[in-house]
Amino acid sequence: MIKKAVIVHIINPRKMKLEKEYLDELLYLAEGAGFTIVEVVKQKISAPRAPFYIGKGKLQEIKEIALDNDVETVIFGVNNLSPSFKHKIEDFLKLEVIDRTRLTLNIFEAHASSKESKIQVELALLRYELPRLKGRGEELSRLGGGIATRGPGEMEIEKERRIIRKRVNTLEKSLKTLFKNRGTMSKSRKKQNIPVVSIIGYTSAGKTSIFNILTKSDFTVDSKPFTTLDPKVRYGYLGNNHGALFIDTVGFIRDLPMELFTAFKATFSEASNADLLLLIVDVSQDNINEHIETIYKVLKDLRIEDKPSILLANKIDLLENIGTVVNSIIAIYDGLVIPTSAVSLEGIYDLKQSLREKLTHANTLV
């Protein structure tokens, strides 16, 4: 079944340089969630406007486009659209409205397959939905019990809120157990004296392709966002009687929803326990610097920005001006940069050699 959507692209006048990158990423996420985009409606505003976030005239334009094209969903390109705005916009359009955060959560939900990833995604979804119950309760209360009274709608929402909070508590306990188990596995690896390399990067930068090459694995490679939710761990031989355990982790995007970051903290902790970080950037993209900044922001949030690392300028097979691009990366990244291609295998030999040297320097190589 085709899911048609209209995208509302909010342009902040103070961030005009990133306008194209924000839109490209939003389109990428929408298509990854299975939507066919009918039209992109742009609105330049420096701050939300009551009562619909954007102007009523622009909202009417969106409504007419949706009616003409059998659209059922409107995607607002902002994170955490307030419950008040969301309900008022939906009431005006008579359509489903989702923000960028909910869009990202939808993708994670679709790709969650293991018990661990399902727990983490459900927890993120519930934390996102909990504050959004209020608006629905007020609407229902006005219908059933009057503005100044605790009507049946409000009481029903309070009941639903208690159920959600109880479920959140249960999931958080399960997550603590998972976190503890990951810590136990990490200690076990340390006892075996096998170095651990965590592969980190923007979603679809080629992390799984590099992981497959280094570990001689054949995990499915997909260009869609967030296809890797569960960390994969495999041993990879680096030559000269040296090897390491490689971990393929969840990909990042700009402004990763806090609900997901918090819920997937146990998964991200794999990077915290690694001896070395392998940072991967898709150099065929126009916004390489922003991707590197996003990676650094996540590393800082995890407090591991000072860990030893190597940055792979990946997908150089798609470039003609390799030297220029690599030099631009070196200008902002204070560390070793290796141009690589998972297709032509260019740079893989240099990568293995650098991994041996880096891990030897850390006195962890076996």
Strands 232-239 and 242-248, how do they pair? antiparallel
pLDDT at position 134 over 80: no
pLDDT at site 145: 43
Is 240 inside a domain boundary? yes
pLDDT at site 189: 66
Is residue 227 annotated as involved in ligand binding? Answer: yes
- Tell me which residue range forms the domain holding 314: 193-361
Percent of the chain residues past pLDDT 90, beyond the cut: 44
Same domain for 289 and 265: yes
Q: Residues 301, 109, 178, CA angle at the centre, nearest 5°?
A: 55
What is the mean pLDDT of the segment spanning 46-61?
A: 92
Same domain for 219 and 168: no
Is residue 228 annotated as involved in ligand binding? Answer: yes
Same domain for 156 and 64: no
Q: Which amino acid is at 104?
A: T
**Cα–Cα nearest to 292, from 345, 329, 249:** 329
Is residue 294 annotated as involved in ligand binding? Answer: no
The DSSP symbol for 202 reads B
Backbone angles phi, psi at 138, to 5 degrees: -65, -40
Is residue 201 annotated as involved in ligand binding? Answer: yes
Structure-token pair, residue 113? 């397959």
- Asked if 32 contacts 225 with a C-beta cutoff of 8 angstroms, the reply is yes
Is residue 208 annotated as involved in ligand binding? Answer: yes
Same domain for 347 and 198: yes
Is residue 159 annotated as involved in ligand binding? Answer: no
Structure-token pair, residue 276? 């070395």
Same domain for 221 and 330: yes
Is 322 inside a domain boundary? yes
337 in helix, strand or coil?
Answer: strand
Q: Starting at the edge strand that comes first in sequence, how are the strands of the sheet with 73-76 ordered?
A: 35-44, 3-11, 73-76, 96-99
pLDDT in tens, 154-213: 677 788 888 889 999 999 898 888 777 776 766 676 667 789 999 998 888 899 999 999
Is 185 inside a domain boundary? no
What is the mean pLDDT of the segment spanning 51-77?
A: 95
Is residue 286 annotated as involved in ligand binding? Answer: no
Q: Which amino acid is at 53?
A: Y
pLDDT at site 148: 45
Is 183 inside a domain boundary? no
**Domain boundary residue, one of 110, 127, 153:** 110
Same domain for 128 and 37: no
Is residue 314 annotated as involved in ligand binding? Answer: yes
Same domain for 126 and 19: no
95 against 365, higher pLDDT: 95
CATH number for 62: 3.40.50.11060
Percent of the chain residues past pLDDT 70, beyond the cut: 89
Is residue 363 annotated as involved in ligand binding? Answer: no
Is residue 222 annotated as involved in ligand binding? Answer: no
pLDDT at site 144: 42
Is residue 175 annotated as involved in ligand binding? Answer: no
The residues, ordered by sequence, that sit 6+ positions from 317 with a Cβ below 8 Å of its Cβ are: 341, 343, 344, 346
Same domain for 144 and 237: no
Instruction: Please give the tally of structural domains in the chain.
Output: 3
Is residue 216 annotated as involved in ligand binding? Answer: no
Is 105 inside a domain boundary? yes
pLDDT at site 285: 84
Q: How does the average pLDDT of the chain come out, rounded? A: 85
Is residue 226 annotated as involved in ligand binding? Answer: yes
From the number of C-beta atoms within 10 Å of its C-beta (0-12, 13-18, 19+), residue 8 rates as: buried
pLDDT in tens, 317-366: 998 888 888 888 888 888 899 999 999 999 999 999 999 999 986 554 44
Is residue 207 annotated as involved in ligand binding? Answer: yes
CATH number for 341: 3.40.50.300
pLDDT in tens, 278-293: 999 999 887 788 888 8
Same domain for 204 and 119: no
Which of these ranges, 44-48, 149-153, 185-189, 286-290, has the smallest mean pLDDT?
149-153
Is residue 251 annotated as involved in ligand binding? Answer: yes
Same domain for 120 and 98: no
Is residue 249 annotated as involved in ligand binding? Answer: yes
Q: Which amino acid is at 203?
A: T
Is residue 34 annotated as involved in ligand binding? Answer: no
The residues, ordered by sequence, that sit 6+ positions from 203 with a Cβ below 8 Å of its Cβ are: 225, 226, 251, 252, 253
Same domain for 248 and 278: yes
| Cis-peptide, bond into residue 225, ω within 30° of zero | no
